[in-house]
Amino acid sequence: MPKYTLPFPGRELAEQELSYDPCYAKIPPEHRTHIVEQAWNKGAAAAEDVFARYGGEEDFFAIAEQSGLTCTKLEKDYVVGDRRYFSDYLSGQNKINLYLGSIALWADQNELTLQAAENIILSHEYFHFLEWNTLGLTSRDYKVPMLVLGPLKIGRTGVRALSEIGAHAFARTYYELKNKREEKQ
């Protein structure tokens, strides 16, 4: 697989990703950098483990198949509201849907082949598979009150952006490891 610049957010944009989460205002400012770092490190460590386990396999479709995942390619550009979706992991079904219309647009925008783009998107979803099956949900590693009424705090909920940060770290770290290996050869 050719070397390319990975068009996923790096660590430098992870705190910005957190700021988009609906729970952001409930996170004390002094906790934000720390929880982003934890999520990023969780994704990076998982990538190192998967890289070692599968010998740096370049094809995430092969890794997914060996892991018991079903990958379904759907010929659609999946947009809900103002958000485009490239894929989703269906927990409990061990299934990942890839939305090829959306991925094709992303591939063109980032000057990638469709095959490379599908592989990158699949690696991101693979992290979510790991969260549900071995790692635990990164979104639940830090919780905030569901509702705050003055001094009263009701319920607790996780921070969804942390899972996305972990998945970005996973994809980026995996491809950086692969590129480092190729440079040594």
Residue type, 184: K
Three-point CA angle 132, 71, 68, nearest 5°: 55
Whether 3 is in a domain gets the answer no
Domain assignment of residue 6, yes or no: no
Q: Quote the CA–CA distance of 27 and 143 in Å, as a whole number.
A: 9
- For 151, phi then psi, to 5°, come to -80, -10
Express each pLDDT in 77-112 by its tens digit.
999 988 899 999 999 899 999 999 999 999 999 889
The amino acid at 120? I
Q: Helix or strand or coil: residue 90? A: strand
What is the DSSP pairing of strand 78-80 with strand 95-99? Answer: unpaired
Mean pLDDT of all residues belonging to the chain: 91
Task: Report the candidate in 108, 135, 113 with the shortest Cα–Cα distance to residue 50.
Answer: 135
Confidence of residue 149 (pLDDT cuts 50, 70, 90): confident
Q: What predicted TM-score, i.e. pTM, was given to this entire model?
A: 0.91
In a domain? residue 110: yes
20-68 per-position pLDDT tens digit? 999 999 999 999 999 999 999 999 999 999 999 998 888 999 999 999 9
Question: What pLDDT digit, counting tens, does each position of 71-80 carry?
Answer: 999 999 999 9
Q: Which H/E stretch holds residue 73?
A: strand 70-74
The answer to whether 177 and 51 have CB atoms below 8 angstroms apart is yes
The range of the structural domain enclosing residue 65 comes to: 11-184
Assess if residue 5 is contained within a domain: no
In a domain, 119, yes or no: yes
pLDDT on residue 173: 94
How many percent of the chain have pLDDT more than 70?
97
Give the list of residues 6+ apart from residue 135 with CB closer than 8 angstroms, or none. 42, 46
> How many domains does one find in the chain?
1
